[in-house]
């Protein structure tokens, strides 16, 4: 947002503008077509008809980092590949988000102890927004990760100054327990997907429960 | 054709010296000295009874020393009633430490598999390349060199194939110590997770 980035007074109007921008960003996350190892098979499944990540606005897999917002790092990252991952991350335009998918990218996974050239977690060289554990994670877990990310994006400040609010994760989990960052005591309020709710007041009646 | 039959055939052809039978726990193989490797493999490829036209794979192993279990005699009592300490005899050396290279050959025409092994000393692991006999050997030998540091003399392009060119060491050796960092990428393991 260039000149105005988090530079305008924190008033109702700028907050409303933020909401509109964030809603746009969260609702059309374009992931990068980039699979490194076995986890990529599940990432392909999540893009295919059965799980269909396009329902959540995140199904337009782009073949170039320059058109992508979301890097799903799906697979074992070793020392040789780490430079490539980092370069791809650097080539993505802002705003950009990273999902560490699978035990390998979260913390080394099966190669944690004896993987002499495996990076023990990609957060050692790129900032990670969501960790999705599993070996490999179920497609539902990836969807859940995307929904966590959407809530995180909705809480961001774009134009208005001020401290960012904490993301609201209630009701995100479609399959409790698959994504580790969720408080296990929180249970999904509904299994029906609703669009990120910040602009929900614009939806026709019945759009909010 | 089993390895034993293959050895018979080789002896008939006058190529038997330097080749013995390796009776493994499951499948037998031909154990050959490294001077004879190239000649033997060429024979296995070209001669009619073998016609091993397909090289399935080349692998290597780093073998540690293998000994029979130590023998300890129990403590005894001498004539004056004193205690005599038992002695421990070190077990006999069954296998020296070293490298082993294995070639798996297949004959498509005759439907048989053959394994050829060669033992190499730890200090000087080098053996003839067979990349000119089977083009498939090229990458397999590069991989064996990459991970174990076994030199294949006469290979056209003996470079690393899996690890980055600038990697130091050969990771499948038993004495290999994994690096903590490679070209700015941190490879360290984080502090152990707290036990719940
Ligand atoms: S986490 Fe498991 S499935 Fe995913 S890349 Fe690693 S080993 Fe493969």
Distance CA A89, CA A73 (A): 10
CATH code of A2-202, in short, is: 3.40.50.12280
Residues A151 and A27 sit within 8 Å (Cβ to Cβ): no
Residue with tokens 């709710």, as numbered in its chain? A197
Residue nearest to atom 8 of ligand 1 (CA): A38
On whether residue B92 sits in a domain, the answer given is: yes
| Three-class HEC string of B47-116 | CCCCCCCEEEEEEEEEECCEECCCEECCCEECCCCCEECCCEECCCEEECCEEEEEEEEEECCCCEEEEE
On whether residue B42 sits in a domain, the answer given is: yes
On whether residue B194 sits in a domain, the answer given is: no
Question: Max alpha carbon distance in chain B (Å)?
Answer: 77
Distance CA B48, CA B53 (A): 11
> Which candidate, A135, A48, A154, places its Cα nearest to that of A97?
A154
Angle among Cα B38, B41, B42 to the nearest 5 degrees reads: 80
Distance CA A209, CA A165 (A): 23
Q: Give the residues of chain A that fall short of pLDDT 70.
A: 1-3, 170-209
Tokens of A166: 């904490």
Cross-chain Cβ contact B171/A116 below 8 Å: yes
**What pTM was estimated for this model as a whole?**
0.77
Which residues from B are below 8 Å from A120, CB to CB? 187-190
Predicted pLDDT at A204: 41
Residues B46 and B55 sit within 8 Å (Cβ to Cβ): no
**CB neighbour class for A46 (10 Å; exposed up to 12, middle 13-18, buried from 19):** buried
Tokens of B135: 């083009």
The rounded Å distance from CA B141 to ligand 1 centre is 28
> Which candidate, A70, A153, A158, A78, places its Cα nearest to that of A111?
A78
The ipTM value here is 0.71
Residue nearest to atom 5 of ligand 1 (CA): A75
**Residue B151: strand, helix, or coil:** strand
**Terminal CA-to-CA distance of chain B, rounded, Å?**
57
On whether residue B133 sits in a domain, the answer given is: no
Interface of chain B toward chain A, CB-CB under 8 angstroms? 163-164, 167, 171, 176, 178-179, 182-183, 185-190
Distance CA B2, CA B111 (A): 11
User: Hey, is the C-beta of A87 within 8 angstroms of any chain B C-beta?
Assistant: no
Residues A144 and A175 sit within 8 Å (Cβ to Cβ): yes
> How many structural domains does chain B have?
1
The rounded Å distance from CA A109 to ligand 1 centre is 7
User: Hey, is the C-beta of A166 within 8 angstroms of any chain B C-beta?
Assistant: no
Residue B97, domain extent: 3-74+83-125
Residue with tokens 């008809």, as numbered in its chain? A49
On whether residue B147 sits in a domain, the answer given is: no
Supply the CATH number for residue B109's domain.
Answer: 3.30.460.80
Chain B residue nearest residue A78, CA to CA? B187
Distance CA A181, CA A151 (A): 13
Predicted pLDDT at A171: 65
On whether residue B140 sits in a domain, the answer given is: no
Cross-chain Cβ contact A125/B185 below 8 Å: yes
CA Rg, chain B, in Å? 23
**Residue A103: strand, helix, or coil:** helix
Chosen for mutation from A37, A76, A77, A80 (greatest number of chain B CBs closer than 10 Å) is: A80
Predicted pLDDT at A194: 46
Chain B residue nearest residue A124, CA to CA? B186
> Which candidate, A95, A105, A148, places its Cα nearest to that of A125?
A105
Tokens of A94: 């802002």
Chain A residue nearest residue B187, CA to CA? A119
Structure letter (DSSP) for residue A198: G
Residue with tokens 């054709």, as numbered in its chain? B1
The rounded Å distance from CA A76 to ligand 1 centre is 6
Which residues, judged by CB distance below 6 Å to any ligand atom, belong to the binding site of ligand 1?
A: A 37-39, 75-76, 102-104, 109-110, 135-136
Q: Choose among A80, A120, A125: nearest Cβ to B190.
A: A120
Chosen for mutation from B174, B178, B187, B188 (greatest number of chain A CBs closer than 10 Å) is: B187
SS3 content of chain B, % helix, strand, coil (to 5): 15, 30, 50
Predicted pLDDT at A164: 75
- Distance of CA A4 to CAs A9, A17, A53, A93, Å? 10, 12, 33, 18
Structure letter (DSSP) for residue B127: E
Per-residue confidence of chain B (196 residues) as pLDDT tens digits?
788 888 888 888 888 788 888 887 788 888 899 888 998 999 889 888 888 899 999 999 999 888 888 888 777 777 777 788 778 888 888 888 899 999 999 999 889 899 999 999 999 999 999 999 999 999 999 999 999 999 999 999 999 999 998 998 899 999 888 888 888 888 888 776 666 6
Backbone dihedral angles phi then psi of residue A203, each to the nearest 5 degrees: -70, 155
Residues A156 and A116 sit within 8 Å (Cβ to Cβ): no
User: Hey, is the C-beta of A187 within 8 angstroms of any chain B C-beta?
Assistant: no
């Amino acid at each position: 947002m260039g000149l105005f980035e988090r530079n305008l007074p924190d008033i109702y109007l700028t907050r409303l503008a933020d909401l509109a921008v964030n809603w746009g960003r969260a609702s059309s996350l374009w992931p990068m077509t980039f699979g490194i190892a076995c986890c990529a098979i599940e990432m392909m499944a999540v893009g295919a008809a059965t799980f269909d990540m396009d329902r959540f606005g995140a199904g337009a897999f782009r073949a170039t980092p320059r058109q992508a917002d979301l890097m799903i790092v799906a697979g074992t990252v070793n020392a040789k590949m780490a430079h490539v991952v980092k370069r791809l991350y650097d080539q993505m335009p802002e705003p950009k988000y990273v999902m560490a998918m699978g035990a390998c990218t979260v913390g080394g996974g099966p190669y944690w102890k004896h993987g002499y050239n495996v990076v023990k977690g990609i957060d050692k060289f790129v900032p990670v927004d969501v960790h999705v554990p599993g070996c490999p994670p179920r497609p539902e877990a990836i969807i859940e990760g995307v929904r966590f990310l959407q809530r995180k994006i909705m809480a961001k400040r774009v134009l208005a100054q001020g401290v960012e609010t904490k993301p609201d994760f209630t009701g995100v989990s479609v399959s409790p327990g698959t994504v580790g960052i969720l408080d296990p005591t929180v249970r999904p309020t509904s299994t029906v997907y609703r669009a990120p709710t910040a602009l929900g007041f614009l939806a026709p009646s019945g759009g909010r429960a | 054709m089993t390895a034993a039959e293959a050895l018979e055939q080789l002896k008939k052809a006058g190529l038997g010296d330097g080749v013995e039978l390796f009776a493994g726990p499951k499948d037998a193989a031909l154990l050959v000295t490294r001077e004879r490797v190239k000649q033997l493999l060429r024979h296995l490829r070209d001669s009619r009874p073998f016609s091993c036209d397909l090289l399935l794979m080349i692998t290597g192993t780093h073998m540690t020393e293998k000994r029979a279990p130590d023998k300890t005699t129990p403590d005894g009592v001498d004539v004056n009633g004193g205690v005599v300490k038992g002695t421990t005899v070190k077990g006999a050396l069954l296998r020296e430490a070293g490298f082993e290279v294995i070639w798996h050959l297949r004959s498509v025409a005759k439907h048989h598999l053959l394994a050829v092994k060669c033992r190499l000393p730890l200090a000087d692991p080098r053996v003839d390349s067979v990349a000119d006999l089977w083009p498939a050997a090229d990458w397999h030998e590069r991989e064996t060199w990459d991970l174990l540091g076994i030199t294949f003399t006469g290979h056209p392009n003996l470079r690393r194939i899996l690890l980055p060119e600038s990697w130091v060491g050969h990771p499948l050796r038993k004495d290999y110590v994994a690096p903590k960092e490679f070209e700015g990428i941190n490879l360290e393991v984080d502090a152990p997770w707290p036990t719940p």
